Amino acid sequence: MENGKTGDKRHLRSIMTRQKLLEAAKEIFLEEGYQAALISQMIKRANIGYGTAYVHFKGKEDLLIVLMENVMEQFYEIAETFFFPKSKDEAKHIINRQANAFLKMAEAERNMMQVFEQAIGISTIISDKWKAIRMKFIQRISQDVAYAQQNGLARTELNHELVARGWFFTNEMYLWEIVRNEHQSSVEEISQTITSVYVEGLYV
Amino acid sequence: MENGKTGDKRHLRSIMTRQKLLEAAKEIFLEEGYQAALISQMIKRANIGYGTAYVHFKGKEDLLIVLMENVMEQFYEIAETFFFPKSKDEAKHIINRQANAFLKMAEAERNMMQVFEQAIGISTIISDKWKAIRMKFIQRISQDVAYAQQNGLARTELNHELVARGWFFTNEMYLWEIVRNEHQSSVEEISQTITSVYVEGLYV
DNA sequence: CAAAGAATATGACACAGTGTCAATAAGTTA
DNA sequence: TAACTTATTGACACTGTGTCATATTCTTTG
């Protein structure tokens, strides 16, 4: 007996069922997109009874949320970069790296992000999840701008909160462009260009 | 007989029916949002027979598209401002005015824009409509950046297309914030701040 | 101006998908 | 092995959509 609990085949089976469904759901979401994906398809693909799905999840939305959590984590990690530049150039370098990492995520997780984008438009809960990520980034950037202002690196007449939002928004929209595969230029060129305008516009 | 056609009560009635349905649809969309709005509700509100709705429109999506056309027009008008600045300061002034007008639209049409935002996430056709507006703006801005570069007003080492997108994206995201009523600052302060960072970052 | 014809409107119906729940199966405990 | 607990199941009721044969209303024609 490897754990305290006595034999627990039942619980194990339940976990397997849940897992099977999650995997099937991911496949269907990727194949069909959020809107067109049907719970009934997922159930069929997972080879479980119809009602079973509703034992494990409240519905389509609930399933996607679980699937997204993974991707979310990665975003949170990016948001937590250190930022204590000593010069405008150093700042530019750090900022460029972060913007780049952010956009690279879009490429790496493109397929799930496509589903996610659709879901944001439809499901309030999922939209809120994304808003939380956005807020985290904006707060972080806002703090960084304030730091740069306090250290005489950035123009102080600007509202750092507003600047932070504006900067994040540019990044976010490029992220969605990349997700949709609508971007012409390389991620490197994009992050360099937007970083350049931003840093030259904000820093002194 | 005021027009060439002979008596045409039938056609007139048809137009009235269509109109009644459009008005009811607008009400329902505003009350319920795109997703939750039901065709059946609209039909009931318009006091017409169930099947009649499908004579005039293909479905919910089709109804919204017609309702949006009006708002769309206003955006196109904003996109068509003249831009031939002689100095950085003049450029800043024009750009600020345009950003402001753009964001003011969000305030003015907030309710319909909220419905629109949801619909963009769901309906391909509506999403395409918005993309067309975005493209129009980006093309216009792109052209303006190129003009400024050619006249020695803006840094030439930057890809004007990429800069234009970045700048529009900031504007667009603030637009949606305003639509969702999530903005803290006044539209004036927002447009001034983002314009300042943009112009200082791009112009020499 | 009545009958034929054309345009419009109608709602019953078939269909698709969802979520629930009483019944059943499978596993655990004593 | 009987009693109990947990997990699974699919038939069913429900909601909303889009279609289509039929009815209504108006226009034209002889």
3-state class (DSSP) for residue B154: strand
B65-A31-A127 Cα angle (round to 5): 55
Structure confidence at residue B8 (pLDDT)? 85
pLDDT at residue A7 in the model = 54
Same-domain pairing of A122 and A33: no
Residues B32, B126 within the same domain: no
Distance A32 CA to C19 C1' (A): 22
Decide: A57 and A26 in contact? Cβ < 8 Å. Answer: no
HSE, side-chain direction, 13 A CA sphere, residue B46:
26
* Nearest CB to B173 within list A169, A177, A199: A169
Q: Supply the pLDDT for residue A123.
A: 85
Contact flag B173-A173 (C-beta cutoff 8 Å):
yes
Whether CB of B4 is under 7 Å from strand D: the answer is: no
Contact yes or no for A63/A22 (Cβ under 8 A): yes
Q: Decide: CB of A81 under 7 A of nucleic strand D.
A: no
Same domain, A87 and A107: yes
Amino acid at the residue A113: M
pLDDT at A2: 35
Q: Is any atom of strand D within 7 angstroms of residue B60's beta carbon?
A: yes
Q: Which residues contact A51 (CB under 8 A, 6 or more apart)?
A: none
Residue A2 domain flag = no
CATH of the domain at A19: 1.10.10.60
Shared domain for B192 and B156, answered yes or no, is: yes
Please indicate, yes or no, if residue A3 is contained in any of the structural domains.
no
Count how many residues are written for chain B.
204
Averaged pLDDT in 10-residue chunks for chain A of 204 residues: 55 97 98 96 98 97 94 92 96 97 96 93 87 94 98 98 98 97 96 98 97
Q: Do B84 and B170 belong to one domain?
A: yes
**Chain A contact set for B173 (CB, 8 A):** 165, 169-170, 172-173
Backbone phi and psi for residue A154, each to the nearest 5 degrees, phi listed first: -120, 155
Of A57, A77, A94, the residue that ends a domain is A57
DSSP string over A89-118 = HHHHHHHHHHHHHHHHHHHHTHHHHHHHHH
**Which strand D bases fall within 7 angstroms of a protein CB?**
6-12, 16-21, 25-28
Rounded CA-CA distance B178/B103 in Å is 8
Q: Please indicate, yes or no, whether residues B139 and B179 belong to a single structural domain of this protein.
A: yes
Domain membership flag for residue A1? no
CB contact under 8 A, B190 and A162: yes
Paired tokens of A172: 């976010």
Domain tally, chain B: 2
Give the torsion sign (CA, A121, A123, A129, A131). positive
Structural domain contains residue B101: yes
Whether B30 and B111 have beta carbons less than 8 Å apart is answered as: yes
- Asked if residue B103 is part of any domain, the answer here is yes
Residues A197 and A169 in one domain: yes
Task: Give residue A70's pLDDT.
Answer: 86
Which residues form the domain of A31? 9-57
* Residue A121, pLDDT score: 83
* Residue A53: both structure tokens together: 């799905």
- Does residue A111 share a domain with residue A46? no
CA dihedral A149, A153, A156, A159 (to 10 degrees): -60
Of B163, B170, B184, the CB nearest to A166: B170
* pLDDT of amino acid B6: 46
CA of A59 to C1' of C18 (A): 9
Are B179 and B114 spatial neighbours (Cβ–Cβ below 8 Å)? yes
Provide the pLDDT for residue A14: 97
pLDDT of residue B5: 43
pLDDT at residue number A4: 34
Both B114 and B180 in one domain: the answer is yes
Answer whether residue B4 is part of any domain: no
In the structure, how far is the CA atom of residue A37 from the C1' atom of nucleotide D6, in angstroms?
Answer: 30
B39 and B68 belong to one structural domain: no
Phi, psi of A38 (to 5 degrees): -110, 135
Domain identity same for B20 and B86 = no
Minimal Cα distance from B198: which residue of A? Answer: A201
Compute mean pLDDT per 10 residues along chain B, 204 residues long, and list them.
Answer: 54 97 98 96 98 97 94 91 96 97 96 93 87 94 97 98 98 97 96 98 97
- For residues A175 and A133, the answer to whether their CB atoms sit within 8 Å is no
Q: How far apart are CA A93 and CA B114, in angstroms?
A: 38
The CATH number of residue A153's host domain is 1.10.357.10
Residues A51 and A138 in one domain: no
- Is the separation of the CB atoms in B79 and B135 below 8 Å? no
Query: What Å distances lie between residue A89 and A84, A96, A102, A142, CA to CA?
Result: 12, 10, 20, 19
Residue B2 domain-assigned (yes or no):
no
Q: Per the domain annotation, does A140 fall within a domain?
A: yes
